[in-house]
Chain A
Amino acid sequence: MAKLDLPDALLVDKYVAGNEDALEILVNRHQSKIYGYIYSKVSNRDITEDIFQETFFKVIHTLKSKKYYNEEGKFLSWVLRIASNLIIDKFRNDKKMPLDRDTDDLSVFYRISDNSLNVEKRLIKEQINIDLKAIIEKLPHDQKEVIMMRYFLDMSFKEIADFTGVSVNTTLGRMRYAITNLRKVIDKNKIYLTT
């Protein structure tokens, strides 16, 4: 059980040394964030599953070859970067980018649904989600990225900083600007985000 508390870097070392259990712990520890990240980009369960699988094939291959990986303590950002590259490859091959992220399978803003809401409140809530999504889409890329990773992928600011290659303070600054910009747009357009 103590193994579950080991840091990523140590688990990677153990895996490279031949301990297969270490990989299982790493996968279980980060699967939700990695899967969620991929899904937030591709909006399709099947493609997400494929890219998730492909990502870990690359991780396994790289670690077993004992090459490339030398970012001690940054396992998650390294894996997310691999996933990110695979997503780019995927869209390059398909020659299209996902434009509509709302599907029956998942609307990114529908995660805050509450079963106790009546029909009217639910409709209002849906409209709020649509409005909020549209506003977030208008944010500069770096700010949008921080919002998505923090609120929808549940990543810590440290993890976001590692992944985006900037300091934690910069990440916090981006979040602050993002929130400020969201408020400005909401005020300017007189959008009411309450039920």
Chain B
Amino acid sequence: MAKLYSKKNLAKKTMLPKKETIRLLLQYSCALSIIKVGSMNFETFAN
């Protein structure tokens, strides 16, 4: 049955987030460090 429904592709190709959003997320990820001490998490951000 999968074959019956797998050919059509109506999804719009341009449904993508802005490049700035992606850049921000990746930079956020690089800057964020989480250190676990016992049961507590400490967050630090690199400049």
Contact = CB atoms under 8 A, between A and B. Distances in A.
A72 interface: no
A13 interface: no
Interface residues of B, number: 27
A24 interface: yes
Nearest to A172: B1
Nearest to B25: A56
- Interface size class for chain A? 35 or more
B2, B12, B13 interface centre (most CB from chain A within 10 Å):
B12
Contacts of B11: 32, 36, 111, 151-154
Nearest to A173: B1
B18 A49 contact: yes
B37 interface: no
Contact of B15 (A28, A36, A61, A157): A36
Contacts of A154: 9-11
Nearest to A34: B17
